[in-house]
């Protein structure tokens, strides 16, 4: 049984793995170039939706449900149980499939009148509204720090350094070379620069916008929401940050390390138009903030959690969050531990082989 691990990256995925392995008794070294959940990382925003609906796919639905338990176990204050409302534009589309899977898995869901959920909402283009009452919003950056800190409390050593692969070892920019039974690379949008020869990831610029609203738009109260066919999602005003609108259209190619964090004008136009369309009372609401982030997208939007083709299973690659990995972090780490230890076979769809283009796990649109 392996007993030492180096985990590189302290976004949600690396921090979840460091935490999981350290609490299982592994000797863990957790390497991060900056701080857990820093502003350029994909995990560095204030909020992330946690929802179980994944269309016809039960694997992600169950994993998200397990993750919800694990987030609460970490700290119940990390989860704002506001519910997530699915604004379904068709009667028999993704939301209807989600409804079927959630019901089969015993995950609470119900059709509701959207006008009961939002102070102002347009519904004439909706077939129905599906509410996941136990879903909600994660305090993202705070959650990543909590995971990384719990790893340290469990014995992990945190190292601030830039790492690069050196065969099955980890070379640091301070000159040290780390060796362990297992190395897990969870470097988000930086993965193509490290493992571009074996990974197929597109890095795109994604922007989120926050609009001013009065107290009746507070979340919880107002749920998180997803308009799958409208390629947009968001939430009400969490902690006074403003009503969040996130266009889920694939943005232009982006470099997470060197890219200027200025929102794309077309994304802002999309967000303002969406807000005016869906929540008419907020048409023209002033922008109070924005954030530039990035997706690291696999061809089929399934994550990567796989052994490197060399190094006899001692080096694992974890990433390809594809715009929807945050919620799953602790549950994915739990599974990864069993895959690394060989007590369960790894999920083949998270493998490094060829993948067919399929964007169905998250809403996606074109500009
Ligand atoms: C706008 C937006 C909205 C999203 N909304 C949701 C949502 O509502 N729900 C949801 O579940 N998911 C959502 N996601 C997706 C989710 O946030 C990401 O999939 C997830 O945060 C990625 O985590 P990660 O750990 O893979 O990468 P990151 O958080 O980027 O972490 C990678 C870390 O590795 C470090 N690193 C990189 N290279 C090195 C190196 N060489 N040496 C040392 N350290 C290194 C980086 O500094 C970084 O801290 C969203 C993403 C975006 C951009």
Model confidence band, residue 215 (pLDDT cutoffs 50, 70, 90): very high
Domain assignment of residue 361, yes or no:
no
Task: Examine the pLDDT at 367 and tell me if it is beyond 60.
Answer: no
Task: Examine the pLDDT at 1 and tell me if it is beyond 60.
Answer: no
Domain assignment of residue 356, yes or no:
no
Distance 17 CA to ligand 1 centre (A): 14
Domain assignment of residue 235, yes or no:
yes
User: Which atom of ligand 1 lies at the shortest distance from residue 323's CA?
Assistant: 15
Separation of alpha carbons 205 and 51, rounded Å: 23
By mean pLDDT, which of 208-222, 230-244, 332-346, 349-363 is the weakest? 349-363
Distance 210 CA to ligand 1 centre (A): 20
Model confidence band, residue 313 (pLDDT cutoffs 50, 70, 90): very high
User: Which has the closest alpha carbon to 323: 304, 349, 295?
Assistant: 295
User: Which has the closest alpha carbon to 319: 353, 296, 349, 300?
Assistant: 296
Separation of alpha carbons 109 and 127, rounded Å: 16
The answer to whether the beta carbons of residues 72 and 170 sit under 8 Å apart is no
Domain assignment of residue 319, yes or no:
yes
Pocket of ligand 1 (CB under 6 A): 8-14, 31-34, 38, 41-43, 48-49, 162-163, 186-190, 206, 208, 246, 293-295, 319, 321, 323-327
Domain ranges, residue 126: 4-350
Distance 43 CA to ligand 1 centre (A): 4
pLDDT at position 355, please? 87
Domain assignment of residue 103, yes or no:
yes
Interval 160-212: pLDDT, tens = 999 999 999 999 999 999 999 999 999 999 999 999 999 999 999 999 999 99
pLDDT at position 298, please? 95
Task: Examine the pLDDT at 69 and tell me if it is beyond 90.
Answer: yes
Distance 294 CA to ligand 1 centre (A): 8
Phi, psi of 362 (to 5 degrees): -145, 155
User: Which has the closest alpha carbon to 83: 135, 137, 47?
Assistant: 135
Distance 308 CA to ligand 1 centre (A): 20
pLDDT at position 354, please? 85
Q: Mean pLDDT of all residues in the chain?
A: 96
CATH of the domain at 221: 3.30.9.10
- What's the domain count of the chain? 1
Tell me which of 326, 332, 362 to substitute to probe ligand 1's pocket, judged by most ligand atoms within 8 Å of the beta carbon.
326
Query: Percent of the chain scored above 90 by pLDDT?
Result: 95
b/e map 44-62, b = 16+ CB within 10 Å: bbbbbbbbbbbbebeebbb
Separation of alpha carbons 317 and 171, rounded Å: 16
Interval 121-162: pLDDT, tens = 999 999 999 999 999 999 999 999 999 999 999 999 999 999
Domain assignment of residue 143, yes or no:
yes
pTM over 0.95: yes
The answer to whether the beta carbons of residues 30 and 165 sit under 8 Å apart is no
Domain assignment of residue 54, yes or no:
yes
Distance between first and last Cα of the chain: 49
Beta bridge partners of 103: none
Task: Examine the pLDDT at 2 and tell me if it is beyond 70.
Answer: no
Domain assignment of residue 355, yes or no:
no
């Amino acid at each position: 049984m392996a007993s030492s691990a180096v985990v590189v990256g302290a976004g949600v995925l690396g921090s979840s793995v460091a935490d999981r392995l350290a609490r299982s008794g592994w000797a863990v070294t957790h390497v991060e170039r900056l701080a857990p959940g820093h502003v350029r990382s994909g995990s560095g925003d204030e909020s992330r939706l946690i929802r179980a609906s994944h269309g016809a796919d039960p694997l992600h639905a169950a994993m998200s449900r397990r993750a919800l338990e694990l987030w609460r176990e970490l700290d119940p204050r990390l989860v704002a149980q506001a519910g997530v409302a699915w604004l379904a534009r068709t009667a028999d589309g993704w939301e209807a499939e989600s409804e079927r899977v959630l019901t089969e898995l015993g995950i609470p869901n119900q059709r509701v009148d959207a006008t009961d959920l939002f102070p102002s909402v347009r519904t004439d283009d909706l077939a129905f509204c599906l509410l996941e009452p136990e879903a909600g919003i994660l305090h993202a950056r705070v959650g990543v720090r909590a995971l990384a800190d719990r790893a340290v409390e469990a014995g992990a050593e945190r190292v601030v350094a830039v790492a690069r692969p050196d065969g099955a070892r980890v070379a640091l920019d301070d000159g040290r070379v780390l060796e362990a039974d297992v190395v897990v690379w969870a470097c988000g949008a930086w993965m193509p620069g490290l493992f571009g020869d074996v990974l197929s990831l597109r890095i795109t610029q994604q922007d989120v916008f926050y609009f001013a609203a009065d107290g009746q738009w507070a979340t919880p109260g107002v749920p998180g929401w997803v308009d799958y066919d409208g390629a947009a999602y968001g939430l009400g005003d969490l902690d006074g940050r403003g009503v969040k609108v996130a266009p889920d259209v694939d943005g232009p190619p982006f470099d997470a390390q060197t890219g200027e964090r200025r929102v794309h004008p077309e994304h802002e136009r999309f967000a303002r138009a969406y807000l005016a369309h869906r929540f008419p009372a907020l048409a023209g609401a002033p922008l109070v903030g924005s954030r530039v982030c990035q997706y690291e997208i696999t061809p089929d939007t399934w994550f990567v959690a796989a052994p490197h083709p060399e190094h006899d299973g001692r080096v694992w690659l974890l990433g390809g969050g594809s715009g929807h990995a945050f919620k799953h972090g602790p549950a994915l780490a739990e599974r990864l531990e069993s895959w690394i230890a060989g007590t369960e076979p790894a999920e083949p769809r998270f493998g490094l082989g060829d993948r067919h283009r399929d964007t169905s796990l998250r809403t996606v649109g074109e500009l």
